[in-house]
Amino acid sequence: MSSPKNVQALVDHLFRHEAGRMVAILTRIFGIHNLELAEDVMQDTLHQALKDWSLGVVPDNPAGWLMVVAKRKAINAIRRERLHRSFASDMDVLLKSEWTAAYTMDQIFLEDEIKDSQLRMIFTCCHPALPMESQLALTLKTLCGFSIPEIAVALLTSESTINKRLSRAKEKIRQELITFTVPAGNSLVSRLDAVLLVIYLLFNEGYNSSGDNPVIRQDLCLEAIRLGMLLTEKAATNQYPPIYALLALVCLHTARFEARIDINNSLVVLEEQDRGLWNQELIGHGLRFLSQSAGGDTVTAWHLEAAIAAEHCLSPDFKSTNWDRILGFYIALEKLKPSSVIKLNLAIVIGKKDGPQAAINLLHELEKHQALEGYYLLSAALGEFYQQTGQKMEAYDYFRQAMTMTKSTAILSLLEKKISRL
């Protein structure tokens, strides 16, 4: 008999990694209008695993066991509900017939159909009729297996807010009659761009969020990679070069995750990171994806940001960083997607290349325009460059100012270190 503690840990692991697959295939069967039913069957399946495995032996293939039980519970739900509920329109009649239900279910639960259902789910979650905050919450819940408390932590909001977003999203799906499909033709590219943005935002919440749960933050980064990989596995989407550019960006940044936080949960700046902790396998994947992204005739922001990340990953140490190339990429990025944050990064790179005073002048110009008012990184950058010029009082004032602009313990700890060094 397996210990309850070990079984609970296994089920928790499977919930994160298999829940999205189960919900996607169950939604393919029941229809997107019955998303709650799909989630209920998935939860019931996991509870069954927790119960059976605690009393007996964990199966050799736990993920396969879950799919078999989910299929059985789905058949029971269809038999129970078939007189007063409609299912997916293209298989409703087949599912409600005793002659065809079992065969239909066997075909739907094939691995390729499961992947297809996950692809349908991500396009449904990222439908333009849904607000961006709802797209993020719905993607985390249905595709990534995050619980409500975890989503609240990841998106830095309350559980009640997440519940409201999910409820409104599901109601919108019903009202707008949103279909559980991958768009075709001209609408595919625009919807793909929306999907890529959601994947990037998931990654960004994990990599740059002020949330202080490192496990959830790293899981967000890994889920972004998994969802991006999903797009590369189907012919309908895998010919779009920006997918590979975004995957390159996400892999190259996630490769540095372990080195960014020290044992005290303090942020470690790039210059001081132990590059031996960088994940070389992820860097290799990122560089291959970057190469694959060159197949199109359009350079996107994903391409340029991935190229910048690649320059950092290819440098054996901080002093060897090719700031000229990085500056060129940032100039192109600022022309392509003008923003105050990119101007801030551009100023920092110029400071690395041309000296701290050059950066200080540019950063004060940004300060005058107030577009980044309240953004800790502007004040922190000014503190850093003033420190390099030997102007300790100015550096101290800007570091203290930056501390009032963030609640992240990791960032606060870093700023405290910088002040102590003064």
* Domain range list for the chain: 1-109, 334-422
Torsion angle of alpha carbons 363, 365, 370, 374, nearest 10°?
A: 10
* Contact (Cβ atoms closer than 8 angstroms) between residue 286 and residue 248: yes
Which CATH superfamily groups domain 334-422? Tetratricopeptide repeat domain (1.25.40.10)
Q: Please give the pLDDT value at position 212.
A: 64
pLDDT score recorded for residue 186: 77
pLDDT the model gives residue 59 = 86
Q: Is the dihedral of CA 385, 386, 392, 397 positive or negative?
A: negative
| Strongest mean pLDDT among 10-24, 193-207, 389-403 | 389-403
Residue 366, phi then psi, degrees to nearest 5: -65, -40
Model pLDDT for residues 239-288, shown as the tens digit of each residue? 899 999 999 999 999 999 889 888 877 788 999 999 999 999 999 999 99
CA-to-CA distance for 105 and 416, rounded, in angstroms?
59
CA 167 to each of CA 117, 120, 138, 416: distance values in angstroms, whole numbers, following the listed order: 22, 20, 10, 42
Give the integer Cα–Cα distance in Å for 397 and 393.
6
Residue 103 confidence (pLDDT) above 90? no
User: Residue 72 half-sphere exposure, CB side, CA atoms within 13 Å?
Assistant: 9
> Contact, 214 vs 197, CB < 8 A?
no
166 band by pLDDT with thresholds 50, 70 and 90: very high
**Can you give the pTM of this predicted structure?**
0.85
Binning pLDDT at 50, 70 and 90, where does residue 135 land?
very high
Give the model confidence (pLDDT) of 308-367 as tens digits: 999 999 999 999 999 999 999 999 999 999 999 999 999 999 999 999 999 999 999 999
Tell me if 53 sits within 8 A of 2, measured CB to CB. Answer: yes
Averaged confidence pLDDT in the chain: 89
Note whether 199 and 247 are within 8 A (CB).
no
Q: Quick one: tokens of 13?
A: 């692991």
